[in-house]
Amino acid sequence: MKRLFSLLSGVAMGALLGVIFAPQSGKETREQIKKLLQEKMPDLSKERLEELVDEVVAKVRNVQTETSEGQDNDHEA
C-alpha cells in the first residue's frame, strides 16, 4: 500500500506540474489526468480512478492557490 501511495504521489506531482504550466478548462484537466493515470495504472477500478483524479485536481488547486498567494506577497514586498 505504501508503494502504491508513493507511485501515486509521483504521478500526481507530474500531473500537477503539467497542469500548472498548461492552463485549460477544468473538464480538460480532469480528462488529461484520468488518461495519464489509466496509462500508468491500467488495473485500477473506475471508482478508484475517479477518486485519484479528484485528489489530483484538489492538489492542483492547492498548489495554484499557494503559488498565487506567494506571487501576491512578492508584489507587496
Q: What is the pLDDT of residues 22-48, one digit of tens each?
A: 777 778 877 877 887 788 778 878 888
CA 9 to chain centre: 9
Residue with C-alpha cell 504550466?
Answer: 21
pTM: 0.49
Note the maximum CA span of the chain: 49
| Residue 68 and residue 60 in contact, taking contact as beta carbons nearer than 8 Å | no
> How many domains does the chain divide into?
1
Please report, as a single letter, which amino acid is at residue 37. L
What average pLDDT does the chain have? 76
**In the block, which residue shows the cell 514586498?**
77
First to last CA, the chain: 44
**Domain that includes residue 61, residue range:** 2-76
- For residue 49, what is its C-alpha cell? 480512478
pLDDT band at 1 (very low <50, low <70, confident <90, very high): low
